Amino acid sequence: MEGEAGKIDIKDIPMPDEDVMYDLAELYKVFGDSTRIKILYVLFESEMCVQDISNVIGMTQSAVSHQLRVLKNSKLVKYRRDGKTIYYSLADGHVRSIMDQGLEHIEE
Amino acid sequence: MEGEAGKIDIKDIPMPDEDVMYDLAELYKVFGDSTRIKILYVLFESEMCVQDISNVIGMTQSAVSHQLRVLKNSKLVKYRRDGKTIYYSLADGHVRSIMDQGLEHIEE
DNA sequence: ACAACATATGAACAATGATTCATATGTTCA
DNA sequence: TGAACATATGAATCATTGTTCATATGTTGT
């Protein structure tokens, strides 16, 4: 026997589209790296340029730049240019609430 | 020049401990796989045994079992045994709120 | 135009991770 | 105890990914 299987069809269960669940997983992958988490925390304080982010979190300029691109592609951060310098900042409030929810879960 | 670097110290920025940020990333890694996302969505409906989960999301028993272990280790799901069958269910409400936040971000 | 600086990018490498296959563990019932 | 079933697990494989190094792009001031 396989439980209730046979009676159960994916169509009977109200789930988001396959694509949506895939996109959701992709989004969480972005949060699933401690370098990117650190960057996001730094940006909670204020917008900041790449060099400063590198110094604060102790990673190379290149590594930070690569990860900023990932965050940018997921629309979690935005940026503005001021001369040679590019300032990054958080894109919206969801970042904060997602991370707060995660923290709550951890602290149990 | 390196921006404001030199003035900026990680100590001046109120960030969670290194360990906490690492754990947070580990937690989000768990959400960062579409198979696990599907499992969690299925469990939103009701507790369910491994075979049924496999059937509903269309993955092998083994693959589902492996992923359930990951979810179990992160305390996102719990389980109870009833004879041969093991029923899995969501561990707490954070799962739902984390995923809802993610969905909101995607649908923008 | 050139030098100095800030950031981005591409290739390479190492590490991590998801799935599959085979098999082990644990449970029920006859 | 043995057969059938439900789940778990270990090893192997293939794909993904984060970091590094070298270098390219883009900007400013002289």
**What pTM does this model have?**
0.90
What's the rounded Cα separation, in Å, for the pair A64 and A54?
Answer: 6
Question: Which pairing describes strands A48-49 and A85-90: parallel, antiparallel, or unpaired?
Answer: antiparallel
A25 touches strand D (CB under 7 A): no
What are the backbone dihedrals phi and psi of residue A32, each rounded to the nearest 5 degrees, phi first? -85, 35
Question: pLDDT tens digits for A76-98?
Answer: 999 999 999 999 999 988 899 99
Give the start-end residues of each E strand in B1-108.
48-49, 77-82, 85-90
Question: Do B29 and A29 make contact, defined as CB atoms within 8 angstroms?
Answer: yes
- Mean per-residue pLDDT pooled into runs of 10, chain B (108 residues): 46 80 97 98 96 96 98 97 97 90 90
What's the rounded Cα separation, in Å, for the pair B31 and B57?
Answer: 16
Give pLDDT, residue B39.
Answer: 98
Candidates A33, A34, A53, A59, partner chain B, best to mutate (most B CBs within 10 A): A34
Question: pLDDT tens digits for A24-77?
Answer: 999 999 999 999 999 999 999 999 999 999 999 999 999 999 999 999 999 999
The DSSP symbol for A5 reads B
Give pLDDT, residue B93.
Answer: 83
Give pLDDT, residue B8.
Answer: 57
CB contacts under 8 A, A 58-97 vs B, are 58, 75-76, 85, 92, 94-95, 97
Burial label, A28 (beta-carbon count in 10 A; 0-12, 13-18, 19+): buried
Chain B residue with CA closest to A29: the answer is: B32
User: B89, B98, B97, B24: which is closest to A107 by C-alpha?
Assistant: B24
What's the rounded Cα separation, in Å, for the pair A44 and B66?
Answer: 36
Q: Phi/psi zone of residue B15: left (φ > 0), alpha (ψ -120 to 50 degrees), beta?
A: beta
Residues of A 34-63 whose CB lies less than 7 Å from any atom of strand D? 35, 59-60, 62-63
B73 touches strand C (CB under 7 A): no
For chain B, say whether A49 makes contact (Cβ under 8 Å).
yes
The CA–CA distances, whole Å, from A37 to A2, A64, A99 equal 41, 11, 9
What's the rounded Cα separation, in Å, for the pair B2 and B19?
Answer: 28
Of A33, A34, A98, the CB nearest to B101: A98
What are the backbone dihedrals phi and psi of residue A79, each rounded to the nearest 5 degrees, phi first? -150, 160
Question: Do B51 and A101 make contact, defined as CB atoms within 8 angstroms?
Answer: no
Question: Do A85 and B9 make contact, defined as CB atoms within 8 angstroms?
Answer: no
